């Protein structure tokens, strides 16, 4: 599980850098994330990573709490807490995140979530997408194992978007998550 925690840390670090790069972009900037402009996407990302961190630490996440401070700083602080908790064994426990889930599944969900939303940030703000094939493959493996049709809809993961055969694994993951990897 150690290698998966290294991948999680890498994804969260890269996503944090994308948030720093998006700091001066207008909140109303459209994103590929369904129903979210840049401001609401940043808020969602910070709120969710804080909930993931609380769950990994063994606390009940408060899904309504918005951490204080600039989004990039709040995200980085909560991401560091989550990584520390996974390094201390959270992946080997049952975590509560709306439902009880294996910690290893939550770790994979975080990888998938922050690659997807990091891509959303990059597309909305003209930044390079930093994720590796190894990171995308781990997120995609989690998605294939957990994301069933009943979890898809306009408020979450859209319908799968077809990507060409042989497409890079990041494009496959994005298409699976309901994003058009060709852009906004």
* Residue 53: inside a domain: yes
Q: Classify strands 94-96 and 100-102 as parallel, antiparallel or unpaired.
A: antiparallel
Residue 2 and residue 86: Cα distance in Å, rounded? 9
Which residues have C-beta within 8 Å of that of residue 177, sequence separation ≥ 6?
Answer: 112, 116, 143, 147, 157, 158
- The string of pLDDT tens digits covering residues 37-74 is 999 999 999 999 999 999 999 987 765 556 677 899 99
- Is this structure's pTM higher than 0.95? no
pLDDT at 76: 96
* Residue 166: inside a domain: yes
Cα-flanking dihedrals φ and ψ of residue 30, to 5°?
Answer: -70, 150
User: What percentage of the chain exceeds 90 in pLDDT?
Assistant: 68
pLDDT at 77: 95
Question: C-alpha distances in angstroms, 146 versus 6, 67, 152?
Answer: 21, 28, 11
Q: Is the confidence at residue 1, as pLDDT, over 50? A: no
* Residue 182: inside a domain: no
Q: Is the confidence at residue 5, as pLDDT, over 70? A: yes
pLDDT at 126: 96
Burial class (CB in 10 A: 0-12, 13-18, 19+), 137: middle
Determine how many CB atoms are found less than 10 A away from the CB of residue 51: 21
Full domain range(s) for residue 119: 2-176
- The string of pLDDT tens digits covering residues 21-39 is 999 999 999 999 888 999 9
The encoded tokens of residue 99 equal 């439902």
- The string of pLDDT tens digits covering residues 121-152 is 999 999 999 999 999 999 999 888 877 666 66
Which CATH number goes with the domain that contains 113? 1.20.120.450
- Is residue 88 within 8 A of residue 34, CB to CB? The reply is no
pLDDT at 10: 98
* Residue 102: inside a domain: yes
- The string of pLDDT tens digits covering residues 150-165 is 666 655 677 778 899 8
* Residue 183: inside a domain: no
Residue 151 and residue 153: Cα distance in Å, rounded? 7
At residue 184 the predicted structure's pLDDT band, cuts being 50, 70 and 90, is low
- Under DSSP, the state recorded for 32 is S
The secondary element (H helix, E strand) that includes residue 102 is strand 100-102
Question: C-alpha distances in angstroms, 114 versus 8, 73, 83, 127, 166?
Answer: 9, 16, 13, 15, 23
The encoded tokens of residue 87 equal 């390094």
* Residue 184: inside a domain: no
* Residue 149: inside a domain: yes
Q: What's the structural domain count of the chain?
A: 1
DSSP 52-68: HHHHHHTSPP-TT---S
Q: Is the confidence at residue 88, as pLDDT, over 90? A: yes
The encoded tokens of residue 164 equal 């060409």
């Amino acid at each position: 599980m150690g290698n998966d925690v290294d991948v999680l840390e890498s994804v969260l670090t890269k996503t944090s850098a994308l948030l720093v790069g998006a700091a001066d972009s207008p909140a109303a900037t459209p994103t590929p994330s369904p129903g979210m402009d840049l401001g609401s996407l940043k808020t969602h990302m910070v709120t969710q990573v804080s909930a993931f961190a609380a769950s990994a630490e063994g606390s009940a996440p408060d899904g309504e709490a918005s951490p204080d401070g600039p989004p990039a700083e709040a995200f980085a602080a909560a991401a560091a807490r989550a990584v520390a908790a996974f390094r201390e064994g959270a992946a080997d426990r049952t975590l509560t995140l709306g439902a009880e889930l294996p910690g290893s599944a939550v770790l994979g969900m975080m990888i998938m979530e922050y690659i997807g939303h990091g891509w959303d940030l990059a597309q909305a703000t003209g930044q390079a997408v930093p994720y590796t094939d190894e990171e995308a493959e781990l997120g995609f493996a989690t998605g294939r194992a957990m994301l069933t049709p009943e979890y898809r809809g306009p408020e979450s993961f859209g319908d799968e978007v077809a990507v060409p055969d042989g497409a890079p694994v990041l494009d496959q993951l994005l298409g699976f998550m309901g994003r058009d990897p060709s852009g906004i």
